[in-house]
Structures are given as structure tokens and as C-alpha cells.
Amino acid sequence: KNEVEQSPQNLTAQEGEFITINCSYSVGISALHWLQQHPGGGIVSLFMLSSGKKKHGRLIATINIQEKHSSLHITASHPRDSAVYICAVRADNQFYFGTGTSLTVIP
Amino acid sequence: EPEVTQTPSHQVTQMGQEVILRCVPISNHLYFYWYRQILGQKVEFLVSFYNNEISEKSEIFDDQFSVERPDGSNFTLKIRSTKLEDSAMYFCASRRSFTEAFFGQGTRLTVV
């Protein structure tokens, strides 16, 4: 079983701040996903990573396979970024989810 | 942009009743998943499905649960005799072999 830990659990930031959310997992994986869950509950896939770094707009995701660690960065944060960000790892065709990081960006 | 569609968005059912949650995955996707999220808790894996059979399932996915892909487009989750603790948001997801998983918007199941 893969243990997925995220930090911090809750994060409040001022608009414009640079934000980092961290994810660690315990065993080898095929891929790691960063997901965004809005208050209504719907889930959006932001990134899938198996190595290196990906960038999409103001979002950057990195993964270090050796250290079993990934980070999600948000540059120039905006109130519309307020959501729960979830790290999920895929191993053996199962997904294991972190508990999520609740981000609130204040104008 | 292609998307995973789930229906209904909200279902209320009496305890002991059977429910079927429906999902239409993205058409060229090969792997299909069901997850659930009990209010205030983290998302939990239920089952994965590939090549018309279950490939993995969690301890949650007991004999009360079943999945089907009846017509090549729909992917359904059936709960045979619902319990109060089955109340949760149920998410369907699909992917091709080396791509991101795409999630549906979820079905909120309330068992009363």
C-alpha cells in the first residue's frame, strides 16, 4: 500500500504570493497526478508526471523519483486558485490519494 | 475538449435500495476507475477496469458493489443494497495507457 502525504493541510496566501504544496509517497509509482477539487466537488486533473517538471500557465509541477517527492507551485496566486489540491499516485493500476491541501487566496 | 460525463449529479435513495451510477468515459480511453469521497474525507480508490474486467479493487469494493461496461460506452457502478455509510461523492475516471486520468464531475449519493 502506498502512503501519500501532503503538506501543508491548509494554506492561506495573499493574492500574488508564490505557493508551494508538497507531496511524498512511500513506494515506487508509475505516475503522479496533481488534481484540483473545487468547492462543488468536481475534480480537474492538472498534471500527470513520471519524471522531471511540467508547466502549465502559472502552475509548475516537479517530481523527484529518487526522493519520492513532488511539489506543485503556483506563481502569482489569484483568488480563483482557491481550491483543494490533491496529490494522487498510480501504482499497480490503483490510485492512492493524499488528504489534500486546502488553499485560500485572499485578494 | 473531451470529458468524462457522470449521471445523475445527485441521487437520493432509501437504505437497502439498489443504485446504479453511470459514467461515460472518453471514447478512446482504455482504463476506467471508480472512486468515492465521503464528506470531509479523502478520495478513496474503489475499482479499476481494463479489457472488460476488473483489474484491481480495494477492500471497500465488496460483494455489494459491481461494475459493468454494458455497451462499450457506458461504465456503471452498482450498489446492490445501499447502507447509510455509502453516502458519498462517487467519481469516475478514465485514461489511455500513458496519459493523465480525466475525472467526471461526480455523483453525490445520499442514502436515507
**DSSP string covering B63-107:** TTEEEE-TTSS-EEEEESS--GGG-EEEEEEEE-TTS--EE---E
Higher pLDDT, B12 or B99: B12
Residue B111 predicted with pLDDT over 70: yes
- Are residues B108 and A41, on separate chains, in Cβ contact within 8 Å? yes
pLDDT bucket at A43, cuts 50 / 70 / 90: confident
What's the mean per-residue pLDDT of chain B?
A: 92
Task: Count contacts between A and B (CB, < 8 Å).
Answer: 53
pLDDT of residue A92: 77
Nearest to B105 among A42, A95, A96 (CB): A42
Residue B2 predicted with pLDDT over 80: no
Work out the percent of chain B whose per-residue pLDDT is above 70.
Answer: 100
User: How many other C-beta atoms are found inside a 10 Å radius of the C-beta of residue A17?
Assistant: 14
Beta bridge partners of B10: B108
For the stretch B60-101, pLDDT in tens is: 999 999 999 988 789 999 999 999 999 999 999 998 877 778
Residue A93 predicted with pLDDT over 80: no
- Are residues A98 and B42, on separate chains, in Cβ contact within 8 Å? yes
Query: What would you measure as the largest C-alpha separation in chain A, in angstroms?
Result: 42
Dihedrals φ, ψ of B84, to 5°? -55, -40
**Contact with chain B for residue A100, Cβ under 8 A:** yes
Higher pLDDT, A106 or A43: A106
CA B11 to centroid of chain Cα atoms: 13
> Which chain A residues touch B105 with a CB distance below 8 Å?
40-43
C-beta of residue B26 within 8 angstroms of C-beta of residue B76:
no
> Which chain B residues touch A43 with a CB distance below 8 Å?
43, 91, 103, 105-106
Query: Could you identify the residue written with the cell 449521471?
Result: B7
pLDDT of residue A32: 92
pLDDT of residue A1: 66
Nearest to A93 among B37, B55, B105 (CB): B55
Of B89, B97, B74, the residue nearest B4 (C-alpha): B74
> Which chain A residues touch B108 with a CB distance below 8 Å?
41
What's the mean per-residue pLDDT of chain A?
A: 92
> Which chain B residues touch A44 with a CB distance below 8 Å?
103
CA A45 to centroid of chain Cα atoms: 10
